[in-house]
Amino acid sequence: MHIRIGTRSSDLAIKQSLSVSKHLSSMGHKTELVKIDTVGDLSNNLNFSEIGPIGIFVKEIEKALIEGKVDIAVHSCKDLPATSSEGLTIAAISERIDPADIIVANRDYVDSSLGFIPLKENSVIGTSSVRRKSWLEYFRDDIKIKPIRGNVPTRIKKINKGYDAIVLANAGIQRLLDNKINLDLEGLEIIRLDPEIFIPAPSQGAIAIQCHERNTNIKKIIESINDSDARRNVDLERLLLAQFEGGCNLPFGSYCFPDTDDNQYIKLVSRLELNGKIIESRVRGKNRKELFKKTMSILIKK
């Protein structure tokens, strides 16, 4: 079968789509990448607060899917709204790698004696994520936070040009490095932020493959490359996201993962900032539905 893959045109998006394409090619299918510019890609000079963060990197791709211009769409799962557009479904989570955030910093501004966020006092750190901004302020209220936009290589180039450091998803930079994309990291230090502490965006690190619900042939093909464990964890994180997504500028993070001490158990950590107050939940159990209920009782109660 010939399968048209809708994707953003950034290096990272192309590499993610090519990984899906390789899966499909190994199954005997022919693939074609269809590059689509989204409002998020075309509005690099605006802050998320000015254009609205929910769905800004997926709407145009979903429109192409609905109109039959592409057969599937490949997304960074964290870019997707918690609820799929009408008629569309996430048929697979093809993979999930490290969900952690990282700080990429000028080495001259790093001081490991300063603890979890090891940046010197009054360092200027770039992020346009309300979640990352909230967490940074929670751990280090002396740091200066400045909005930044652009793809990963563009943001890295801005270090030393008005920024001492930036925050990125580790998955993005690792996928680029794994695919031999040249990133100028000379003089820079990468600091991984423990996702149990600096809680990531729901589904961060996961690749989602969307298709039309009625396209049963395509759906069956895509479902065959689903990572079931990653899917279950991502679905739980996104279910929590759906409870709070109405406030599009609400800082929220959630991360579901196996308990390394006993793999029969899973852990779920979540953090929410509401009315200037940080609310945090840490639960452990065997049943994801129970973890959801426990988490909601903590986040809502407080």
Question: Could you give the CA distance from residue 139 to residue 144 in angstroms, rounded to a whole number?
Answer: 12
Residue 277 annotated as catalytic: no
**Which of 59, 98, 248, 282 is labelled catalytic?**
248
Active site residue 78: yes
* Catalytic residue from among 132, 140, 175, 231: 132
288 catalytic residue (yes or no): no
Pair of tokens at residue 209: 């493959």
Residue 256 structure tokens: 């579901």
From the candidates 4, 8, 131, 271, give the one annotated as an active-site residue: 131
User: Of the listed 149, 158, 267, 284, which one is catalytic?
Assistant: 149
Q: Could you identify the residue written with the tokens 């940074």?
A: 136
Cβ pair 59, 70 in contact under 8 A: no
**Does residue 211 carry a catalytic annotation?**
no
Q: Is 194 helix (H, G, I), strand (E, B) or coil?
A: coil
- Residue ranges of the alpha helices (H) in 170-287? 170-178, 216-223, 228-244
- Is 155 assigned a catalytic role? yes
Active site residue 79: yes
**Is position 149 annotated as part of the catalytic site?**
yes
Distances (CA, A) of 131 to 146, 211, 224, 239, 270: 14, 29, 34, 17, 12
The one catalytic residue in 155, 175, 219, 238 is 155
Secondary structure element (H or E) that encloses residue 29, with its range: none
Decide: 295 and 239 in contact? Cβ < 8 Å.
no
Could you say which of 71, 79, 101, 164 is catalytic? 79
Residues 6+ apart with CB under 8 A from 182: none
Both tokens assigned to 269 = 């950590």
Give the burial class of 65: count Cβ atoms within 10 A of its Cβ; 0-12 exposed, 13-18 middle, 19 or more buried: buried
- Catalytic entry in 78, 96, 133, 219: 78
Active-site annotation, residues: 78-79, 131-132, 149, 155, 248
